[in-house]
Amino acid sequence: MTQGADRTPGRRTVLGAAVLGTAALGVGGVTAAPAAAAERHGGHGSYRDLPTPTIIGHRGASGYRPEHTLGSYQLALDMGAHVIEQDLVPTKDGHLVCRHENDITGTTDVAAHPEFASRKTTKSVDGVSLTGWFTEDFTLAELKTLRAKERIPANRQENTLYDGRWTVPSFEEVLRWAEKEGRKRGRPVWLHVETKHPSYFRALGLGLEERLAKLLRRHGRHRADSAVFLQSFEPSSIQRLADLVDPPGVVLLSGAGSRPWDFIEAGDPRTVADLVKPEGLKWIASYAKGIGPTLDLIIPKDASGKLGTPTTLVRDAHAQGLILHPYTMRNENTFLPADFRRGGDPNAYGDAFGAFKVYFETGIDGIFTDNADTGVLAAADFRG
């Protein structure tokens, strides 16, 4: 399917310094995983062996449960998602927890806890001013007194039934859950783990990558054939991780006109539009195995919100040996391209199967979706 599919990029020092040599176990402090560790999660396997299109449960099964909860992850796995996604942020005492952002105002009941009222504050995160409560101001024990809730109750009222049912999971809990489920199923449970705001947290002394690498090593998921992808919108985070551990890295790409926050801080003028050119993709392929572009970079929409003509990104990325895991497919009309909306209710489901099919036809390797069950059926239809 791709050129250079078996290429193993050399391990690099952080931030584009010289290549040090071919990646190998034992380099950069990485040691071979004990056999017992491999068995804990049901063995190893290459990401190239995953079914394609690969269905990635976005924040679990966030179309049906409050996102980033063990309930959401469990449902996505039970629905047949091939990979389950976690977004990671740190606590004050350095634990990694699963939240889409460090501002927990919208996805927990923190506002209803008078004992934490004084922690409400205003911060600038990646250049955006935010007022609320932030994970880095809470210890893990404090965070564990909160309960998760639905992020978008106006769109997903049914999910509010589950508000308060689960806590904010630590990543270590998720690793243990994946091991348990892997043993039960006799195969590894694949994870897709994103570092959120890595430069921001590094400046606070809460670097994400070392903490993540340590957990991955502890749980035998640090190898090239471990059942985990590592993703970030900041390329330097993927480079840093590539120096520490060997699982496949995926560089996330937002809108064409945007710049990764680490580029902005470093004065790197390149935009996402530069990164999706062959030269930019070649640079990404020197330290990563894939890209995670917004779906609009695969098929842009016209002024009316309908899908237009696919770009050459799939072909160009594959030419560099990169897989593509674009984001995010959701079943509700309000989130679908205009040509796949049905009826006037923005929160009713549109023709999600039709939209999945059109995206799959571009040749993408996988897709993030809030609706794992729909994605699994659509992928099976596509494979025929």
* Sites of contact with ligand G3P (CB under 6 A): 58, 87, 100, 194, 231, 252, 292, 327-328, 368
| DSSP calls for 28-92 | GG--PPPHHHHHHTT----GGGS-SSEEEETTTTTTTS-SSSHHHHHHHHHTT-SEEEEEEEE-T
> What is the nearest approach in angstroms of ligand G3P to the Cβ of residue 67?
9
> What is the nearest approach in angstroms of ligand G3P to the Cβ of residue 196?
7
Q: Locate 246 and state its tokens.
A: 């060997």
Residue nearest to ligand G3P (CB): 327
> What is the nearest approach in angstroms of ligand G3P to the Cβ of residue 292?
5
Span between the terminal Cα atoms of the chain, in Å? 18
Q: What share of the chain is helix, strand, coil (3-state, %, to 5)?
A: 35, 20, 45
Taking CB within 5 to 8 Å according to partner kind, which of ligand G3P, Ca ion, none is near residue 252?
ligand G3P
In 3D space, the residue among 230, 261, 227, 263 whose CA is nearest the CA of residue 244 turns out to be 230
Taking CB within 5 to 8 Å according to partner kind, which of Ca ion, ligand G3P, none is near residue 58?
ligand G3P
Q: What is the dihedral of CA 125, 131, 135, 141, to 10 degrees?
A: 170
Q: Is 90 exposed, middle or buried (0-12, 13-18, 19+ CB in 10 A)?
A: buried
What is the contact mask toward Ca ion in residues 80 to 99, using x (rule: CB under 5 A)? -------x------------
> What is the nearest approach in angstroms of ligand G3P to the Cβ of residue 274?
20
> What is the nearest approach in angstroms of ligand G3P to the Cβ of residue 358?
19
Amino acid symbol at 108: T
3-state per-residue secondary structure call for 160-187: HHHCCCCCCCEHHHHHHHHHHHHHHHCC
Cβ atoms of 304 and 338 closer than 8 Å? yes
Nearer to ligand G3P by C-beta: 87 or 262?
Answer: 87
Nearer to Ca ion by C-beta: 42 or 57?
Answer: 57
Residue 101 in the binding site for Ca ion (CB under 5 A): no
What is the contact mask toward Ca ion in residues 47 to 86, using x (rule: CB under 5 A)? ----------------------------------------
Nearer to ligand G3P by C-beta: 13 or 334?
Answer: 334
Cβ atoms of 42 and 188 closer than 8 Å? yes
What is the contact mask toward Ca ion in residues 156 to 195, using x (rule: CB under 5 A)? --------------------------------------x-
User: What residue ranges bind Ca ion (CB under 5 A)?
Assistant: 87, 194
